[in-house]
Structure 1
Amino acid sequence: MDLTLAPRSVLSVTVHLAQGQASNALTSHPGSRTTSYLAHGDQTEAAELAGATPVDHWYLLSAVEVRAGWSTAALAVLGDSLTDGRGSTANRNNRWPDRLLDRLQPRLPGLALANQAAGGNRVLNDGPGPAALARLDRDVLPAYDVGDPLHLNPAGYKALAEAVPAGLLRRTGGRDGLSAVLRGPDG
């Protein structure tokens, strides 16, 4: 499907299961902090869903792949329920990674953010879902062609340092001493 969307657009996807749902196995995100609408019948062409029931979960969709230009860079954030949006407001896109992007994009306009957080996520061992290390190998590194955690030139580091809330950025050594590590609000 070829769509042209402005950065940070809200995308609505309508799906019709002509044969119904064949099993209880369902891709879902119960902590999405975003409303989905369930409705009977094929309403894929409808501008508004008649008789829809709102639910604050995502169903059936685990990702949307976007082809971006060469000047676009992605910052992938892997975290737990705080990163996923616990404490944020439904339908407002005000999770802390959203707010971070609000601060970064004016200085780094080609930056996109991929929030790969999962509520209940644990780092080493599986919890309600796969451990973060397994998800890093599965969901982040191959999907975003990540080479370094966050490696910046001096101007990029300065812009990031000005945009990130105090205490969330730590400068580390690196090839030229300018690698940075972003920490979540809980440290």
Structure 2
Amino acid sequence: MKDNILKGSIVLLILLLFLISVTAVSSEDNNSNSNKDLNIMSLSKGGITIQYPSDWGNSKATSNYSIMAISKLDSIDAFGIGQVNINVEKKPIEGDFNTFVNDTYKSMQKDSSFQLVSSGAVSIGGQDAYEYVYTSTQGTGEKEHKAVWFEKGGQAYVIMYSAPISEFEDNLYVFDFVLSGIQIT
């Protein structure tokens, strides 16, 4: 009887190991197939060049200061505006850059639909910059935003990533990718 139990256990163990290996190989094939279809795209406007994955594309921006906007393709609505997007803006600076950026967020904090999460100094493309993370409640629901500000030629630039809170972390890697390869001329 012990031999039958031992043989049955060995067969069951071998079957279990086989199923695990088949599942792992299948999962790797699915992941590599989905990444094979992605290409790296490039967009240049207003002295900024960015690269982004091909499952993102041009979209309309809601800001008058926008020089370019890209969005996750499956998040773009009928009006051409992406719910998961990266927007690059350029604004003229009045006075000191640090004061300009800080005043922007001080005025936003007066609005109850705005909640500052964090802020601090960072570097982008070898330049000193400021990073702000905040949430806001808009007509489309609650969103999370990550904005990186820097100064160039008397202009304030901001690269801002926005997404519904439920999608923010899942797509943050694209914003990090865009920032890691940004070219500022």
Q: Same fold by TM (over 0.5)?
A: no
Larger radius of gyration: 2
TM-score scaled by structure 2? Answer: 0.21
More relative contact order, 1 or 2 (CA 8 Å, 6+ apart):
2
